[in-house]
């Protein structure tokens, strides 16, 4: 059980995560956090073109993508991602708590995480997302 008393369903299977962030340091920090959570990194991208081509091939369960990596029109970018990997949970990383969070959700993201959150809070949000993937697979 986790702190909130919910079962940690994501441990029942390996969550396959694709990371997309142009900043190597941020991608590296996320990679370490995700690996510590016993999730599998199935690919990484530092640019939109690489992400768009690679993520469908990896069969990722979860895509963690930086808002700034999306094309000029993020809503169209997320719609296109949904077309090529419809079953992938999309989590958008945002730098500011302004209108970006609402824009990320309205553009087709399943969730968002602030880059300003503590590693513990980021882990909590990723655990919750992974648990939702596990529950969907049980249905």
Over the stretch 113-133, which tens digit does the pLDDT of each residue have? 888 899 999 999 998 888 876
| CATH number of the domain within which 13 lies | 3.40.50.2300
Average pLDDT over residues 5-30: 76
pTM (2 d.p.): 0.82
Residue 98 maps to a domain: yes
Structure confidence by residue, pLDDT tens digits, 21-72: 999 999 999 999 999 999 999 999 999 999 999 999 999 999 999 988 988 7
Cα separation, 131 vs 137, whole angstroms: 10
Cα distances (angstroms) measured from residue 8 to each of 87, 88, 106, 111? 21, 19, 28, 19
Average pLDDT estimate for 101-108: 64
Alpha-carbon Rg for the chain, nearest whole angstrom, is 14
Residue 2 lies in a domain: no
> How many structural domains does the chain have?
1
Q: What is the pLDDT of residue 5?
A: 44
């Amino acid at each position: 059980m986790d702190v909130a008393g919910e079962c940690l369903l994501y441990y029942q299977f390996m969550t396959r995560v694709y990371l997309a962030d142009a900043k190597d340091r941020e991608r590296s920090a996320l990679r370490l956090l995700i690996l510590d959570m016993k999730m599998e990194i199935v690919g990484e991208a530092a640019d939109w073109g690489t992400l768009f081509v690679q993520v469908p091939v990896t069969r990722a369960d979860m895509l963690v993508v930086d808002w700034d990596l999306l094309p000029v029109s993020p809503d169209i970018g997320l719609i296109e991602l949904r077309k090529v990997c419809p079953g992938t949970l999309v989590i958008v990383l945002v730098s500011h708590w302004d209108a970006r969070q609402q824009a990320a959700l309205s553009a087709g993201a399943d969730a968002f995480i602030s880059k300003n959150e503590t590693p513990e809070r980021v882990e909590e949000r990723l655990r919750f997302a992974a648990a939702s993937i596990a529950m969907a697979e049980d249905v």
